[in-house]
Structure 1
């Protein structure tokens, strides 16, 4: 069992659950932050550490600064690399998405090679590295997406977030293949939902649910299909990948694939008419007219709205031993947490 685990992105939506689970299992967690002095950003994790079996060490490092992870990596048995921007609101995709994702991965994995102690790296990628647009499934003549596929339809100008994920993961495999010291296991979650450990989380997942509850899609939800997975299951998958000697390759995580409207109806089933949830699915033709209000380009609507996707997540259950939380429970816990933290009323 690895005892010292370096975790990047540990204060994030997924990362904080990973840190919590590792601490509760008795690991020494070396968590990197950009500014050690900003204790308020990780105070909630220090609190968890104070009553957990494991211990938390705070180290400074910057994704874009070459060599900044080397000190924290030396002496670590494993690395869980979660740090990468997830934002759909940006001005410069290269600077805000691609560079931190690709250069960050490069810096962290080069530190793993130089450390002489790291034996395994668990990398958080995304299902966005498997496919870009929903229509990819039809265009590639597939019945479903599996770990065999790599996203070929995203670019710097179309779906740049997805492009950042595929570029970072390909870079990781390239660095892995050029060395013999550590093993790489990749986690490819679909759209992550569920409660946040930090009330200050700026997760896109929380923004999406907040928009849904506040009535942004009241007159019609886009006919968009996603894979959905609980944040706690994603964290668990990282820990299983870390501890399982046989874990190898990529792992798609999805409890199910369903539409935005269908997901909203699961919330309605738990909370009734408390929120202004979508009344129906929005016709695609209507979306072409109002899509700009939701930040959707014509190309995105054309290639994603109304197209079915299927994700095969059987490897995560068969090889990692992951059991999934039902989406109903995930969404209920998420809304309850948002109520408790007064993110929604």
Structure 2
């Protein structure tokens, strides 16, 4: 039985990944930042085959803990970077755990002979830090694919900047190490939505859906979405999990970074669909998903079905 380590495997996306690999008969090791906080991971205990689930405390900035976590794993998925829109100190809450955590991770993985495949959960911000606004030089009607030049702005949200810089660290690592004994592949989801596997109330992804459903703006950043009725590229959390499973188990994808996205709707239409009403506009595919469809065999659910399932 193959062993997989999932850093961040109890989070919104991570829980769906954990479920999928358990269903595929893997031994699954999941990290948690604080083993004493059972509410963070107790929902995983109700999954099928949870007797093959192992929990381990991990701080991604601690190299010794990282080394112990990845030991004896065949596949490692790193999705343990913080997704925060509100913060007090961007350096300690976003940049350090995201960038330094990624650098530490790559250093430790290089020393771990059992690992044959590494999957990094990046973000659409690895391609465009201004998301959901269009990249510089593009309009909201222009498409974006893996062939486009990545766009970075110092004016972007610190979360997006951190994800972009971390992805650059991955690219640099691949270039500097041309003879690795394992493959590294990344996925970059757009706005991940859908039903959570847990009842946690501190999930940013679930929280954003709640805000959009009820048209609540706790800060100017979210208010901007309503004021401009911004077009939002959406991807189902289950499709992200399937995409990650495919990337982890299909050989020959080293160095690639797949955009994972379904349709783009305006935020006003997102609000309607979260309330089980019909959207007023026709959706578009702005962030292209053909590479994932072609190379991963991954069909994407419609945004409407995703949003209708948020609270069912």
244, 249, 260: which one pairs with 1:253? 260
Does structure 1 retain, via aligned residues, the 8 Å contact 2:129–2:164?
no
Question: Which range is displaced more, 145-154 or 240-249?
Answer: 145-154
Query: How far apart are residue 221 of structure 1 and its match?
Result: 5.2
Compared with structure 1, are the counterparts of its residues 135 and 243 closer, same or farther at alpha carbon in structure 2 (3 Å cutoff)?
A: closer
Does structure 1 retain, via aligned residues, the 8 Å contact 2:76–2:118?
yes
Query: How far apart are residue 54 of structure 1 and its match?
Result: 6.8
Query: How far apart are residue 28 of structure 1 and its match?
Result: 0.6
**Distance between the aligned counterparts of 1:309 and 1:331, measured in 2?**
16
Aligned residue number for residue 25 of structure 1: 24
Does structure 2 retain, via aligned residues, the 8 Å contact 1:225–1:309?
no
Q: Which has the larger radius of gyration?
A: 1
Aligned residue number for residue 327 of structure 1: 303
Tell me, which stretches of 5 or more residues in structure 1 are unaligned? 282-307, 337-345
Does structure 2 retain, via aligned residues, the 8 Å contact 1:223–1:261?
yes
SS of residue paired to 1:242: helix
Matched, 1:235 2:235: no
Aligned residue number for residue 204 of structure 1: 204
Query: How far apart are residue 247 of structure 1 and its match?
Result: 2.9
Does structure 1 retain, via aligned residues, the 8 Å contact 2:215–2:271?
no
Query: How far apart are residue 73 of structure 1 and its match?
Result: 1.2
Length-normalised TM-score, structure 1: 0.79
Aligned residue number for residue 57 of structure 1: 54
**Distance between the aligned counterparts of 1:158 and 1:111, measured in 2?**
30
Compared with structure 1, are the counterparts of its residues 57 and 41 closer, same or farther at alpha carbon in structure 2 (3 Å cutoff)?
A: same
Does structure 1 retain, via aligned residues, the 8 Å contact 2:4–2:76?
yes
Does structure 2 retain, via aligned residues, the 8 Å contact 1:129–1:150?
no
Question: Which range is displaced more, 247-256 or 131-140?
Answer: 131-140
**Distance between the aligned counterparts of 2:58 and 2:215, measured in 1?**
40
SS of residue paired to 1:108: helix
Task: For 1:204-223, list aligned pairs within 5 A.
Answer: 204-216=204-216, 222-223=228-229
Aligned residue number for residue 126 of structure 2: 129
SS of residue paired to 2:101: helix
Q: Deviations over 1:201-236 (max 9, x none)?
A: 422232222123334379x65321221000010011
Does structure 2 retain, via aligned residues, the 8 Å contact 1:176–1:182?
no
Matched, 1:113 2:120: no
Does structure 1 retain, via aligned residues, the 8 Å contact 2:129–2:156?
no
Matched, 1:226 2:232: yes
Aligned residue number for residue 45 of structure 1: 44
**Distance between the aligned counterparts of 2:37 and 2:269, measured in 1?**
40
Does structure 2 retain, via aligned residues, the 8 Å contact 1:25–1:53?
no
SS of residue paired to 1:136: coil
Query: How far apart are residue 137 of structure 1 and its match?
Result: 5.0
Q: Deviations over 1:262-310 (max 9, x none)?
A: 2223334x258xxxx9xx99xxxxxxxxxxxxxxxxxxxxxxxxxx992
SS of residue paired to 2:234: strand
Query: How far apart are residue 53 of structure 1 and its match?
Result: 7.7
Does structure 1 retain, via aligned residues, the 8 Å contact 2:201–2:207?
no
137, 156, 159: which one pairs with 1:158? 156
SS of residue paired to 1:335: coil
**Distance between the aligned counterparts of 2:42 and 2:307, measured in 1?**
26
